[in-house]
Chain A
Amino acid sequence: MKMTKLAALLTATMLAAGPTLADTLHFPNLSYRTGPFAAGGIPFADGYADYFTLINERDGGIGGVPIRYSECETAYNTERGVECYQSIRNDNPLVLQPLSTGITYQLIPRATEDQIPIHSMGYGRTSAVNGEVFPFVFNYPSNYWDGASVMINWILSQNDNDIQGKKIALLYHNSAYGREPIPTLERLSERYGFTFLQIGVDSPGQEQGSQWLQIRRERPDYVLMWGWGVMNPTAIQEAANIRFPMENFIGIWWSGSEQDVIPVGTGAHGYTSLALSGVGRDFPLYDDLQNYVYDSGLAAGAGDQMGTVSYSRGIYAAMLAVEAARTAQQIHGVSAITPAMMRDGMANLVITEERLLELGLPGFARPFEVSCQNHGGTGHALVQRWDANEGRWDIISDWIESDRELIMEMVMEDSLAYAAENNITPACLN
């Protein structure tokens, strides 16, 4: 009896695993709300989900077609990421947002084969900027090599454009993610004459004793950080413990959210990081979110992440996805678009000041245009500083430009090597 029940349940499970097709736009999210990186994964997933809920509730979907949002838990684990991809690939996923550089690397060849676009927003494979080699992969608005270059440009601006002989350390998560900026920083160190020090932290990054001992011994002038999840608060705590000057400790945009600095308390005061977008809740869009999503109890997760940096980034990612879907609808003249049409929308996406104003996000992001040759946006970033007393991030710089000439040169090298390895002839689609 027990066995038959179990068997029946299993059969039901197998049947349910099949795809359900309906007149909806399917936006999946390979999220992670568990594991050592959940602290960053939860707010991003909440923001991503809430924006789609808002579009459904306020506008009735995109171009009249409602959005279907689904989540698959990866726990930042590549094997689970593959499983998730397999479970959604036949379900018309319009765009993949894996939020993990490792999973992105794994999905690039598969999704390209299946003609499903990937938006690795500010992470993933940097050389995917070259859309002739990576037609289905997009990493606008900025990538890691931009981030490294923006950091160096920021340091230059703090030092009267002379950092000859300075010592700059990179504290990185020892994974594909953390190693991405190394080639850029190596080139920049040759150009500007600073000493470049690489200090890797093994995943997940809770143990950094020896790394900070090394930092104490080497006394670098600046420490740049490529950290994620539990690694961030640990590193900031260690820096506070050795009284490293916080204004000289600069994190990438994934190392600068509330949950990274709050655990350290006042010790984190003055910690800086890059930012991809404006901070806080002072945007008209948040009023709509409050009205349509929060007040009607439709918020994703626990609903306590609104306004944090990672949450805003989730909003930003979902906004770009929705705008790309709109563009695709205009290009193809149909409202129920396919993943391949979505790709065209992403490849022709234009974000302007006026559009941001209409969306209720004035000044939130920097306008950019996507083209076949440039899937990576403009590569600008802001610098934000944590105010531990007020408990908020303050933007302390204008949009800083990256050294795009150098980065495009490196992108071409790396992407053409990839094309040669995989027998791809670089060419624009359509």
Chain B
Amino acid sequence: MLYREAGDFKTSYVADSQTFPIKFDRFGYYAILAIAFLGVPLVINDYWANSIVVPFLIYTIAALGLNILIGYCGQLSLGTGAFMAVGAYGSYKLMTAFPELNIVFVIIAAGFITAGVGVLFGLPSLRIKGFYLAVATLAAQFFLIWLFTRQAWFYNYSPTGMISAPTREVFGFPVTGPRASAVSMYMICLCFLVASAWLARNLTRGTLGRQWMAIRDMDIAAEIIGVNPLMAKLTAFAVSSFLIGISGALLFTVYLGAAEAGEAFGIDKSFLVLFMVIIGGLGSIFGAFAGAAFLIVGPVMLKLLLVNTLGWPTDLAAHLEIMIIGAMILVFLILEPHGIAALWRTIKEKLRLWPFPY
């Protein structure tokens, strides 16, 4: 009744091929953007920003990036944590080398550095596929973390190997360092997320995205119909690493403030983002959001519920949290193997007929 296509006429190809062809979706999208940019900053407090919303925004960017590589181009990667570390260390080196450079450009530049490193480690994908590629990217994970923990140049020879983000401002508001307010941290992450999602969505709809999907579905067939596998695979690695690098840079500069490669960007980070992509739904922009929400917001909510509301001991809650999240992942994958995005698609199908299903 509410959610319908009937009566929504398109009179041009542009209108017909837009991202949200259904009016209800489109207005929903505008409403969400308006709430995110205008509503949330008014009500958000420090705890919500720092514990839930900011990490959710940052990890969504990483999930978007990995989704391009795995979901759209079909190249399995386990190096996400290391690529995030490249973004973090890249932004750290730039911040300390050029203190005058605006943090926004620092983060974008860190994204480009990561894209370069990603292309380098994407080269083996031209020869190897599937699980073997996963092992090659695993090598990237271990090599890069080794580099960042053992080569003192990367952490400016600090005695402990920790890198820490100095205070930087955007329009006079500090966004990194201890003086950054919840709203400014939220806004910069939100801007990067919206830009990333817009970029990812439009790239995947265009020529490049269709090439990636052709490679994913059958690479030999794609090559026969004229897709250049070298270009397709390497651009997928580049765009994916670019987004992952931005998320790593944001995680370090805005959220953590101080980090060390082995602890903050270890192999568990790679798996965390991989799970986000799988649970959210491969090959779906919405899936990246859903997966990140599930794995970042879920555990914190569960902790708040068990410890703060029910008053259970923290260790019991922490163990239960692992079990409950694990069980939920299993249940999800059994009931809906294609992720939360597929669930959302089914709900939309049902909504179109509601309240008069055939």
Interface residues of A (CB under 8 A from B): 9-10, 12-14, 16-17, 31, 33-34, 38, 42, 71-73, 75, 77-79, 82-83, 86-87, 89-90, 101-102, 105-106, 109-110, 112-114, 125, 174-176, 179-180, 182-183, 200, 202-203, 301, 414, 421-422
- Residues on B with C-beta less than 8 A from A75 are 318
One of B51, B159, B166, B303 near A421 (C-beta < 8 A): B166
Using Cβ atoms and an 8 Å threshold, which residues of chain B touch A125? 160
B50 engages A82 (CB within 8 Å): yes
B165 to chain A, nearest CB (A): 9
Q: Which of A9, A110, A112 is the most central at the interface, judged by chain B CB atoms within 10 Å of its CB? A: A110
Contact A174 B149 (CB under 8 A): yes
Task: Choose from A31, A82, A89, A176 the contact partner of B260 (Cβ within 8 Å).
Answer: A176
Q: Does B21 contact A (CB under 8 A)?
A: no
Contact assessment for A71 and B314 in the assembled complex, using a CB-CB cutoff below 8 Å:
yes
What is the bound-complex CA distance between A200 and B187, given in angstroms? 40
Between-chain CB contacts (< 8 Å), 14 pairs: A33-B318, A34-B319, A73-B314, A79-B55, A82-B50, A86-B50, A90-B47, A106-B256, A109-B257, A182-B159, A183-B159, A200-B150, A203-B263, A414-B159
Known: A33-B314, A109-B257, A176-B160. A10 touches B55 (CB 8 A): no
Interface of B is mostly: helix
> What number of B residues sit within 8 Å (CB to CB) of A?
42
Chain A's interface: helix, strand, loop or mixed, by majority? helix
Beta-carbon contact of A180 and B264 below 8 Å: no
Of residues 154 to 168 in B, which have CB atoms within 8 Å of A's CB atoms? 159-162, 164, 166-167
Interface segment, one of B114-122, B195-203, B282-290, B304-312: B304-312
Cα A62 to Cα B234 with chains together (Å) = 65
Chain B residue with minimal CB distance to A111? B178
> Across the interface, which residues of B come within 8 angstroms of A34, CB to CB?
315, 318-319, 322
Complex contact B301–A10 (CB within 8 A):
yes
A40 CA to B231 CA, complexed, in Å: 51
- B171-185 contacts to A, CB under 8 A, are 177-179
In this complex, which of B51, B166, B313 has the most chain A Cβ atoms within 10 angstroms of its Cβ?
A: B51
With contacts A89-B46, A106-B258, A174-B149 taken as known, whether A79 is within 8 angstroms of B264 at the C-beta atoms is yes
Whether the Cβ atoms of A16 and B159 lie closer than 8 Å is: no
Smallest Cβ distance from A35 to chain B, in angstroms? 8
Considering the chains assembled together, what is the distance between the CA atoms of A102 and B258 in angstroms? 8
CB-CB < 8 A to A14: which residues of B?
Answer: 304
Chain A residues near B305 (CB-CB < 8 A): 9-10, 13
Is B89's CB within 8 Å of the partner chain A? no
Q: Are B315 and A73 in contact (CB under 8 A)?
A: yes
Name the CB-closest residue of B to A33: B315
Candidates A86, A114, A203; contact of B262 at CB < 8 Å: A203
How many Å lie between the Cα of A102 and that of B159 in the bound state? Answer: 13
On chain B, the residues within 8 Å of A301 by CB distance are 315
Q: Shortest CB–CB separation between residue B317 and chain A, in angstroms?
A: 7
Cross-chain contact B318 with A86 (CB below 8 angstroms): no
Chain A hits for B162, CB < 8 A: 102, 105, 176
Question: In whole angstroms, what is the CA distance A77 to B264 when docked?
Answer: 8
B300 at the interface (CB under 8 A from A): yes
B85 within 8 A of partner (CB)? no
Nearest first, the 9 closest Cβ-Cβ pairs linking A and B are A33-B315, A113-B178, A109-B178, A73-B314, A176-B160, A86-B50, A83-B51, A34-B318, A73-B318
* Given A73-B318, A175-B262, A78:B256 Cβ within 8 A: yes
